[in-house]
Chain A
Amino acid sequence: MLSKDKDKSVASKESTPEGAAKRQEDGAGTPKQQLLDIIGNMKVEVSYRKKLQQLKASESKKQAMNELEGLDSEGSVPQGITEDTQRGKPLNPELVKAASAVASSLPHNKKQTVSELLAQLRRHEETTDKQKKGGTVNIRNVISEMTVKRQSSAQRGARISGRFSLQLDEDGQRTRPARSSAQSVDSRRSLKVGKRLNIFTKASTEPEHALKTVSSPTIWDLEFAKEVAAVTAQPPRNGFEEMIQWTKEGILWEFPIDNEVGMEDDAEFHEHIFLEKHLEGFPKEGPIRHFMELVICGLSKNPYLSVKQKVEHIEWFQKYFEEKKELLQEI
């Protein structure tokens, strides 16, 4: 536990140096350029494990020195911010010892270095605490963050333009708070971690919503649906997609082809063809029967009449022959 803390703290206190060190490994440049790079790109996300590895890999103390130079001037404000938000527990004494060891190894003002490093540590520990708790939104924090961020975005232009002249005086003092807090915000800038607005609560199954009457879609809904559909409505990329589009519109036959599409015929095929059962009213032999069988044969081959119409035909004949029955029998 202790060692892990120490590693983390070592990593965290070297976080900015590490970010800069990484960048310096990437691109060569004068030390001043490197310093300017740091100031300009204070958005490197602090990933502790990666930084730890890089810490082990990098060797140039000189680089660390340069970074601390930058760290010096910005060290003042982190203390200010930490004073605002008090931390519950004090820093690990091991960390304090480590910080003083680092300070003693460097040729700068030892006391100042120590205090700045510790302030930085405090800030990072605070950050980790907050994130560990999965922090609820403290509205004050949100608002304080917001104002500071605004300052930073306003000062951003000044920062970039002042790139080639390090202004460590009043301007420096003013840009520092923005930068360091921007750094803290940016270090947490990720889609995965972060707080939520906490305005809405997740709606569990709500019966009253289910009961809500769904009115017919208004013109707003229809037009919105059309607009959304138009987003992904691209012209067809090959012949098959064109056929798909035509099928959806109703221009093309649907596969597998059913050649009875569009025909409403509630009678089955055998009712069309096997019409002998309608011949029961006719005599079983004789020319009439013969005639009627021919009629039936013709009707069965007729695709244009419905069953009802065919039956009507046969009945007409039946009626006709009934009427003429007397006449026929005379013959």
Chain B
Amino acid sequence: MAKSYLISLQVFSGAARIVQCHGKVQSCDCTLTASSSGSRSSSSSTALGKTVDNAQVTQEEIVLPRRKTWDKLAVLQTLASTVNKDPTAAHYMFQDDPFLMPRNAANSRLYSLSKESGRNAAKYIIKNFPQYFDKTFAEPNIPCLMPESLTPQTEGVSEEALRERIHLRMVKESVDMFDQLLQGGTPVSLETTNSLLDLLCFYGDGEPTPENEQEEKEDLEEPEVNASEQKAPKRQFERGSQSSGPRWRENNHAERIFKIMPERNAHSYCTMIRGMVKHGAYSKAYDMYIDLLNERHKADVHTFNALIRAAPYLKERFTERWELAKDFLTHMAQQKVQPTLLTFNSVLKSLRRCGGVGRTMSLLVLKEMEALDIEPSLASYGHLLSMYYKGVDAQSSDIISEVLDEVEKRSFTAQDPDDASFFTTAMQVCCDLKDIKLAYQLNKALEKGDNWKFLDVNQLNSYWSKFFSLLCMMEQIEVVLKWYREMSSSLFYPGPKNILDLLQALDAANQLEVIPSVWEDVKQLGFSRRRDLLEEFLSLMSRDQHPSEIQLAFAKCAEEIKAVHEPAGPAQVPLEWTGSALGHVVVLFSRAGRIQDAWNMMEHFQKINRIPTDKVMDEFLNCAKQTNCPDEAIKMVKLAASLGLLSSQRLKSRTEEEFELSETQKKALESIKWDGDSSDSDSDSSDSDRE
């Protein structure tokens, strides 16, 4: 170990230079670690210059710091903290082959799920064929990659064997072993029976299926969802709002074993209550609790939490639900069971189903938590927000701004499974309140410390999607575009609604020239076949006249949209044209001077049995005039006449006035009849043409 030396210093007048001489004596450790670590010895010892006068000698003790020990992750964590967000890259888990990067939200979900399922497949193979994986190449051996043995070692019927099976979570075998033991006459100890009850109550009499540790929790199948033959019929008092997990079956193994137990302690009752609440048998749980009280046992805090969660299902009216929950709390206080954060979170969760009563009481609950020095977790705030901001009518933003003030100060750790939904709930509330400042504050809270971990990949997408919609509504277009460029494809994948919002924002800010680039993004996102988006694009592009480059760009977009509607390739089903879409495309082509394309589109009108509007036909005429194609104009007038449109007369006169018509053309124009007989007029005009 390093010994510290007393070093005498000489302080000079003027410049006080402290000269340090480091010296260390160490016992020679055979581990040969260079232990001059902690103290970075700057062995720059400057020469001592002495002045005779003003020499003061001071004694100062230099304590050499001890060698710091870093834990194994410190270096990596420091390095990880230097990596900032790259706005151009997708999530790390997709960075493999650029072709395989997901382009929209559905794909991203699909790819991440497929990655996870690949891992699960590998685990499955190792678990089921361990005989092929017995060679250990790695030195030192990596135990987590080796197959684990899940078969019980102890054979025979004994309490040891029972305990082992319980430990390995083999539900059916444990129950069988227990029954065998009882039939054989060996008494099973209370503790073992209790752990068996734990197992049964947790899994609700079903088998644990292999757990899928996925990031996407929506797909997370709970381990208790078991084979259908074990599914229980619904109890009559349930509201049917519980969706997950099997129901508690009447007289299932847990109840049976509970009944035949010679002696029961508080733990037995508690675990039964917890199991019943978990699987939806709420009134049974309440009866069990009454039994527990009659037996003068003391319930533990988890049982009380479960009972409080069950309270809304036991009573109908809001006040009664709250009264019941309050009763449980008073029992807790009487039995000197200390409430924890989870207790209060359960109270808040129950208060969510208590309407107005719940709203008032929730604040009191928060004050109680404060009085007991229990810090609220994100779940508490989440429940509070859902209580106060249910429904879409405009409400005051007091509660949420206070909540956000609290949240942005701390970096939270997960303490309650309901913590995960806080951020999405809060963002939803911000969107309902249409308050962009609160949303910015929420984002700041998200960046603090470890708070980003509370949003998983799917929730991230919906969170940022909502934020973007709010941005489009409330912020200036430059800010919106900046966020759009930074966020798409790295933070979130815009959905169709986001694109519509963006288009509206562009429209409001009169920056329609950005539309072609948005169209490019839409193509990449794979929304190019969505009718609502196409309508919006076309109507915005064709609404006003624009300078010519923009018009050309618009026409290119229109062409691509046209391509969507046509059969392309074997698998593609072409979209059906709508009248308005077709009209817009004609207008866009016309304005860009592409008369031939415009005429092709005009011919489509008859195919889909629609009539072009006046505006469309006027634009077409304008284009014909600009490109000096009177033939096209005449063709169009014929078309209008054949469709029997009222404006055909006007169009005809317009054609006559504005165009330089040759004799044949004039005659053709004259010969167009207006009412009825389209075939006659056609034949007439064709005759006149041949002349």
Q: Which residues of A contact B (CB under 8 A)?
A: 41, 43-45, 137, 145-147, 149-150, 152-153, 156, 160, 185-186, 189-192, 194-203, 209, 218-220, 223, 227-244, 247-251, 254-256, 261-263, 268-270
Interface positions of B from 346 to 392, Cβ below 8 Å from A: 355-357, 359-361, 363-368, 370-373
Report Cα–Cα, A146/B326, bound state, in Å.
14
Q: Does B199 contact A (CB under 8 A)?
A: yes
The majority secondary structure among interface residues of chain B is helix
Q: Which 3 A-B pairs have the closest CB atoms?
A: A262-B140, A153-B356, A240-B80
Q: How far is the CB of B577 from chain A (nearest CB, A)?
A: 42
Interface positions of B from 96 to 125, Cβ below 8 Å from A: 112
Q: How far is the CB of B309 from chain A (nearest CB, A)?
A: 13
Interface positions of B from 530 to 574, Cβ below 8 Å from A: none
CB neighbours of A137 from chain B (8 A): 364
Among candidates A192, A202, A232, residue contacting B402 with C-beta atoms closer than 8 Å: A192
Q: What are the interface flags for B310-349 relative to A under an 8 Å C-beta threshold, 1 for contact and 0 otherwise? A: 0000000011001000100110110000110000000000
Q: How far is the CB of A188 from chain B (nearest CB, A)?
A: 9
Q: Name which of B227-235, B411-419, B604-612 contacts chain A.
A: B411-419
CB neighbours of A227 from chain B (8 A): 417
Q: Does B15 contact A (CB under 8 A)?
A: no
CB neighbours of A218 from chain B (8 A): 195, 198, 271
Report Cα–Cα, A41/B143, bound state, in Å.
63
Check A202–B30 contact: CB distance below 8 A: no
Interface positions of B from 134 to 185, Cβ below 8 Å from A: 139-145, 169
Q: How far is the CB of A9 from chain B (nearest CB, A)?
A: 23
Report Cα–Cα, A45/B215, bound state, in Å.
42
Check A235–B457 contact: CB distance below 8 A: yes
CB neighbours of A238 from chain B (8 A): 80, 83, 92
Given contacts A232-B450, A235-B91, contact A219 B202 (CB under 8 A): yes
Interface positions of B from 441 to 476, Cβ below 8 Å from A: 450, 452-457
CB neighbours of B333 from chain A (8 A): 199-201
Nearest residue, chain A, Cβ from B140 = A262
Report Cα–Cα, A200/B413, bound state, in Å.
25
Check A248–B456 contact: CB distance below 8 A: no
Report Cα–Cα, A9/B455, bound state, in Å.
47
CB neighbours of A219 from chain B (8 A): 169, 195, 198-199, 202
CB neighbours of B338 from chain A (8 A): 200, 203, 209
Count contacts on B: residues with CB < 8 A to the other chain. Answer: 80
CB neighbours of B139 from chain A (8 A): 262
CB neighbours of A220 from chain B (8 A): 198, 202, 271, 274, 302
CB neighbours of B30 from chain A (8 A): 268-270
Check A255–B371 contact: CB distance below 8 A: no
Check B80–A241 contact: CB distance below 8 A: yes
Report Cα–Cα, A209/B360, bound state, in Å.
33
Q: Does B406 contact A (CB under 8 A)?
A: yes
Check A194–B363 contact: CB distance below 8 A: yes
Check A231–B398 contact: CB distance below 8 A: no
A-B CB pair tally, cutoff 8 Å? 179
CB neighbours of B195 from chain A (8 A): 218-219
Report Cα–Cα, A146/B359, bound state, in Å.
10
Report Cα–Cα, A200/B332, bound state, in Å.
8
Check B364–A194 contact: CB distance below 8 A: yes
A-B contact pairs, 12 of them (CB 8 A): A41-B394, A45-B396, A145-B360, A189-B363, A196-B367, A197-B326, A197-B329, A201-B333, A220-B271, A237-B92, A240-B76, A262-B141
Report Cα–Cα, A220/B361, bound state, in Å.
30
Check B355–A150 contact: CB distance below 8 A: yes
Check A251–B198 contact: CB distance below 8 A: no
Check B93–A235 contact: CB distance below 8 A: yes
Given contacts A198-B368, A237-B91, contact A231 B420 (CB under 8 A): yes
Q: How far is the CB of B366 from chain A (nearest CB, A)?
A: 6
Check B364–A249 contact: CB distance below 8 A: no
Check B329–A199 contact: CB distance below 8 A: yes
Check A244–B77 contact: CB distance below 8 A: yes
Check B399–A189 contact: CB distance below 8 A: yes
Among candidates A147, A192, A200, A231, residue contacting B417 with C-beta atoms closer than 8 Å: A231
CB neighbours of B83 from chain A (8 A): 237-238, 240
Check B143–A250 contact: CB distance below 8 A: yes
Report Cα–Cα, A189/B398, bound state, in Å.
8
Q: Does B53 contact A (CB under 8 A)?
A: no
Besides A186-B396, A194-B366, A235-B215, 10 more A-B contacts (Cβ < 8 Å) are: A150-B319, A199-B330, A199-B368, A203-B372, A220-B198, A232-B413, A243-B76, A254-B72, A256-B75, A262-B141
Check B75–A255 contact: CB distance below 8 A: yes
Check A223–B402 contact: CB distance below 8 A: no
Which residue of B356, B414, B415, B419 has the most chain A CB atoms within 10 A of its CB atom?
Answer: B356
